[in-house]
Amino acid sequence: MATSEAMDMTAAEVAPDSKTRRYDRQLRLWAASGQSALENSRLLVISASATSTSVLKNLVLPGIGHFTILDPATVTPRDAGNNFFLEGQSSIGKSRAEEAVRLLAELNEGVEGKADTSSLEQILDNNPGYFASFTLVIAHNLESKLLERLSTLLWADDTLPILVAVNSAGFLGEFHIQFHEHTIVDSHSETAPSLRIDKAFPALADYAASLDFKNMDPTDHTHVPYVIILVRALADWKATHDGKSPQTTAEKKQFKEGVLAMKIKIDEENFDEAEAQAYRCWTETRVPSEITALFQDPQLSNLSPTSPPFFHLLDALRKFTLQPPHTLPLTSTLPDMKANTASYIHLQKLYKTRAEEEKATFKSVLAVPIDDATVDTFVKNAHGLKVLRGKRYGSLNTNPAALASAVASSPKATAIHLAISALAAVSSPQPTVEALTAAAQALLPPGSELPEEFSDAVGEVFVLIILTCLSARSPNADLPNSAAFLGGLVAQEVIKMITKQYVPIDGYCVVDLVETWTGMV
């Protein structure tokens, strides 16, 4: 079986450098463009808690550019007992930020780390411009009033960094990403781009028509790619059916039988593959509805030379799709298929040549100059474009109707969100179940009931409170296993935001490690 990777003749046959060897596996996930975005990122992490350092561990290893830990606290025995990025007894009494930075920096010498022992409150009061130099801010278990001030400041100006707010209490946790607008070119869509078999471009149609299937060498006949088989079969069908593709169930069945009848040997797997892919002949290639909807984005009606490049590219895509054959630009990426090397490479060259021609047409309708690498990536992934619009942190809790709707649709996940929100809202260091329940109830519309699952969630929080009273921990103290799990989840979403690849969460991601599940609110 031929593969696009094995047959790509344009790949440079050079030995990988040290960076490529170090990051080999992750480069397969987000490529060089994603790695470059990571290496140019600057992160601010507020508090050197066990959860914060766990998040950072999962970001330092893949190679972010810089991180600063903002934390005025010194290491306590409690910290030393639950944070893997402190050196036990020897760290006690030292700056928590400095100790964490020192140990995290050992994971990757290519990452710059800095400790800042300033107070967040003082920075908010006296130096609000402090945050402008960062790409993204991560805050864990901030006091509710400080988190409110921070989120308000960062939301007020869409040029300020993204905020990831993380809250945890024992085995429960949640996090939310605050952003205004997030565009994604490479969403790694599970839907493959169209091969355009039903709208074959001239070179593909001519090549399929030129083959003499009946008199072909049996070995060559066994290795004709299914794309060529279907293009030829569809052309022959249309020639006898008024230019129409198979329409009815009976016609589709007849078409498949005709494809199989083209075999000259019973074991020709390429024809079996063509029969399985025959639906492509009557499934019209058109612009996906999700992409068509993006053409209505308000940004396109207010384009200027200073508009983000993404929207100039999107506008060019809109103009391109108005031209025949009214599809997205062709991609040269082909799936695996039954074929020998020569046949596969020839097919790949046909698609690559046509893709370059259509890319040139795309560039001709661009209103502003954009570098070729960006255009190439956009065109290649045009079928999976996304534009996300986020919400301010805390906006859900100020909208009782939205919370009530969340209770109805996702009661279990919302119960955890309400329990964590109640813990943040109650100022007492040792709140009662009654106080937590009242605080959660106050977030809902009058007369609304808390979800049944709330009693389990608030019970877990209260058990933690009892245990922390006995051990002198705070009610929202870190547990190492919760910190590790949250650290992985949060870092994953942070990487999505920085690289602008894959689709990040929308809303609150809640975690329950008592029953071991995650959910969305």
Cβ neighbours of residue 228 under 8 Å, at least 6 residues apart? 204, 207, 208, 211, 343, 347
pLDDT at 431 (0 to 100)? 83
| Cβ contact 361:323 at 8 Å | yes
pLDDT tens figures, 142-170: 999 999 999 999 999 999 999 999 999 98
Cα–Cα distance between 58 and 67 in angstroms, integer?
Answer: 12
480 in Cβ contact with 82 (< 8 Å): yes
Q: Residue 16 has what pLDDT?
A: 73
% of the chain at pLDDT higher than 90: 86
Q: Residues 6 or more apart from 338 whose CB is under 8 A from it?
A: 1, 2, 223, 225, 226, 269, 270, 273
DSSP symbols for 217-281? -HHHHTT--HHHHHHHHHHHHHHTTTT----SHHHHHHHHHHHHHT-SSTT-HHHHHHHHTTHHH
Given a cut of 50, is residue 324 above it in pLDDT?
A: yes
In this predicted structure, the answer to whether residue 472 has a pLDDT above a threshold of 50 is no
Q: Is residue 474 pLDDT above 70, yes or no?
A: no
Q: What is the pLDDT of residues 360-398, one digit of tens each?
A: 999 999 999 999 999 999 999 999 999 999 999 999 999
Task: Pick the range with the lowest mean pLDDT from 84-88, 116-120, 255-259, 425-429.
Answer: 425-429
pLDDT given at position 497? 98
pLDDT over threshold 50, residue 12: no
Average pLDDT (302-315) is 95
Which pLDDT tens digit goes with each residue over 173-220?
999 999 999 999 999 998 889 999 999 999 999 999 999 999 999 999
**Predicted pLDDT at 1:** 57
Q: Band of the pLDDT at 428, cuts 50, 70, 90?
A: confident
Question: Does 59 have pLDDT greater than 80?
Answer: yes
Model pTM score: 0.90
DSSP per-residue codes, 397-443: GG-HHHHHHHHHH-HHHHHHHHHHHHHHH---SS--HHHHHHHHHTT
Asked whether residue 479 carries a pLDDT value surpassing 90, the answer given is: no
Arithmetic mean of pLDDT, 11-20: 64
Contact 493, 388 (CB under 8 A): no
CB atoms within 10 A of CB 155: 19
* Per-residue pLDDT tens digits for 487-501: 999 999 999 999 999
Query: 279, 321, 317, 280: which is closest to 300 by C-alpha?
Result: 317
Which pair of tokens denotes residue 139? 């805050």
The answer, yes or no, to whether residue 453 has pLDDT greater than 50, is yes
Mean pLDDT of 400-418: 96
Q: What would the pLDDT profile of 217-251 be if each residue is shown by its tens digit?
A: 999 999 999 999 999 999 999 999 999 999 999 99
pLDDT band at residue 429 using 50, 70 and 90 as cut-offs: confident
